[in-house]
A and B are shown apart, each in its own frame.
Chain A
């Protein structure tokens, strides 16, 4: 019954509404402001917790991400949609993930968080959403001209178990937080790092965060909720059913934020956000283009990796590596503003994405 509804035209709307309620509740329970769920921020925190970057304020093994993958995995198994597949330009997808994350960390959020920021009253998100739409628009131009990354093919059944196993491993590391590394003074340090202050130190109770992640993962798998597909299908095909998912998310999240006293309208002083309009726009433009070329928003890529899509899994690993790169190369923004090398990151990312767009064309179908 509920499955029927989730698979119908209204499925993305129901999923959006649930995300819109759960995300502000997770903030209320301890997650950073307007960051109830954010694939970019959480991927960045995971990269930090694994020591891949050493920005001490953004290190935590966010259980929501493991929940998305595991929720999708279980759902795909139950409904016979677990179909391991691979081989559609994996290395290109990996780097699309890298640059999607670099762009998202210039803006400070994935598309989900762009809408969640807006629903908390953060008007800077409007620039990001405009940039996202522009990036999707460029991606659409490539799609109209025959862009594609080639076919994937069915592959070893067991390959689809890797990402769910990786998710379980992240949860085990969250629980055990091993400290068998030693610093110069011989004191325990790493390999797992948790922030003592800053956004990384703020989190809802882990089992609630995991539960929310599992529920969202399951619902998103059934409904194909996708924030990039939403704009793409609206512009390209005049099909709004995914876009209604975003509207439902916005309405539910604004309502929940107001009810919890978390709604604060304005540009200045917003949580984990900066006020530089140009870089909010350009960061999300780069991200939006990378997501469109890869075929879906980062949340959707996580869900597909849970279904056994090896190529989506590589995109996800690209996101995590991209987060490490963004911080290690000072590409990432902070609440103070864009990082000193944001322009370099943007230029390199755009050259890569445009090259991918121009070089991968031609019909693959009869």
Chain B
């Protein structure tokens, strides 16, 4: 059972969601990283960063319109 790192990037301007995610991925050591964002732009930016760093990403939309992105190595 690994710990989950949570990055709450809701409401942050570019490029903060990506920077916060990058920092989390670099310190994750194999753990799952979960990122919350609230715009499609941020969702795509985070997923693009993750794929460039060779992380696999999936996402789901919650009822309030938040995107919950799950990143795994």
Contacts and interface: CB of A to CB of B under 8 A. Distances in A.
Interface residues of B, number: 25
A149 B11 CA distance: 10
B65 A9 contact: no
A122 B16 CA distance: 35
Contacts of B44: 7, 224
Nearest to B41: A224
B39 interface: yes
Interface string B31-55: 0000000111100100011001000
Contact of B49 (A88, A154, A229, A237): A237
Contacts of A229: 14-15
A151 B15 contact: no
Nearest to A238: B52
B40 A365 contact: no
A13 to B, nearest CB: 15
Given A83-B65, A365-B8, A366-B7, A148 B13 contact: yes
Interface in B1-37: 6-16, 18-20, 22
Interface string A327-366: 0000000000000000000000000000000000000111
Contacts of B13: 88, 148-149, 152, 294-296, 311
Nearest to A79: B40
Contacts of B65: 83, 154
Measured as residues with beta carbon below 8 angstroms from the partner, the interface class of chain A is 20 to 34
Contacts of B64: 154
Interface in A49-89: 79, 81, 83, 85, 87-88
B15 A83 contact: no
B39 A148 contact: no
B15 A85 contact: no
A83 B38 contact: yes
A236 interface: yes
Contacts of A149: 13
A143 B15 contact: yes
B42 to A, nearest CB: 10
B45 to A, nearest CB: 8
Interface of B: 6-16, 18-20, 22, 38-41, 44, 48-49, 52, 64-65
10 contacts: A81-B41, A83-B39, A143-B16, A143-B19, A224-B41, A229-B15, A233-B15, A237-B18, A295-B15, A366-B8
Given A294-B13, A365-B9, 19 more contacts: A81-B41, A88-B11, A88-B12, A143-B15, A143-B19, A151-B10, A152-B13, A154-B38, A224-B41, A229-B15, A232-B15, A233-B15, A241-B48, A295-B14, A296-B13, A364-B12, A365-B7, A365-B20, A366-B6
